[in-house]
């Protein structure tokens, strides 16, 4: 009896479509920067909802609606995956987004929690973010699901966003604001601190000076890149190995201001001028 050999499984064709990344404004560019560095042959389409920034002061229902609207614009531009590079939208809109779209959709909260649990030695973790993100309890909930014995202390730091956007990374006033904002956390003897807003990595050095060298500062951007790598190539098919990376930027308002601030957040990655889109 002759048995035919099993058919060889042909590799999936490369997918040259860009990966969509979005935030309420410029903060998500810190995530884009990490993704672009990790995947130098992938192209990315970034959308900042600058007409309705900040999301951190909006209700859960509003953030959910905004998240789906922004993602729909990226889907219309034929992206192959979505990265919600906004802590507030990840906390309040990601579940609704996943129910709305067939595309793979990643947030920043669970990757940040996993990174913090890897960084902590004592199990005492701090979280800082916008008022809405902290009030949502999303980080607490995710951390407790992953490690029920963890201790979590959190604090809203709403003034960090304007400091980051103005480039006041080493200003005496910034040090005072950061010190005052973080004072409650220093009473909890934490050894890892999640930077629960994508603006905050811009202030990482200043935050580190206040918290001290023994505190691990957790930026979820690199953990998000790890999650995206885990989805390749079975869920998110990569492009050609020698493809030239393209970065494109969309905004809903204030293109000039966005471009000015973006150059500080991108640290050398190219941006000429963002394009305006309507939602």
Supply the residues annotated as catalytic: 86, 197
Alpha-carbon distance 155 to 240, whole Å? 44
Under 8 Å between Cβ of 254 and 228? no
38-to-14, 34, 47 alpha-carbon distances in Å: 18, 6, 19
């Amino acid at each position: 009896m002759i048995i035919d050999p099993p058919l060889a499984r042909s590799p999936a064709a490369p997918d040259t479509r860009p990966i969509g990344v979005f935030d309420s404004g410029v903060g998500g560019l810190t995530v884009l920067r990490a993704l672009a560095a990790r995947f130098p042959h992938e192209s990315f389409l970034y959308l900042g909802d600058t007409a309705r920034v900040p999301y951190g002061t909006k209700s859960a229902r509003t953030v959910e609606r905004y998240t789906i609207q922004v993602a729909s614009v990226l889907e219309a531009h034929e992206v192959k995956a979505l990265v919600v590079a906004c802590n507030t939208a990840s906390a309040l809109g990601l579940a609704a987004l996943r129910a709305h779209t067939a595309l793979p959709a990643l947030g920043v909260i669970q990757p940040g929690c996993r990174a913090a649990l890897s960084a902590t030695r004592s199990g005492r973790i701090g979280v800082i973010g916008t008022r809405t993100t902290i009030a949502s309890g999303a980080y607490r909930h995710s951390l407790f699901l992953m490690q029920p014995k963890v201790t979590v202390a959190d604090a809203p730091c709403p003034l960090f966003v304007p400091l980051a956007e103005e480039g006041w990374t080493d200003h005496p006033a910034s040090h005072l604001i950061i010190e005052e904002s973080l004072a409650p956390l220093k009473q909890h003897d934490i050894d890892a601190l999640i930077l629960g807003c994508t603006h905050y990595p811009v202030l990482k050095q200043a935050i580190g000076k206040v918290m001290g060298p023994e505190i691990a500062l957790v930026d979820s951007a690199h953990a998000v890149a790890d999650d995206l790598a885990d989805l390749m190539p079975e869920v998110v098919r990569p492009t050609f190995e020698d493809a030239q990376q393209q970065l494109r930027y969309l905004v809903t308002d204030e293109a000039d201001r966005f471009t000015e601030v973006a150059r500080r957040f991108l640290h050398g990655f190219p941006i000429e001028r963002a394009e305006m889109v309507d939602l």
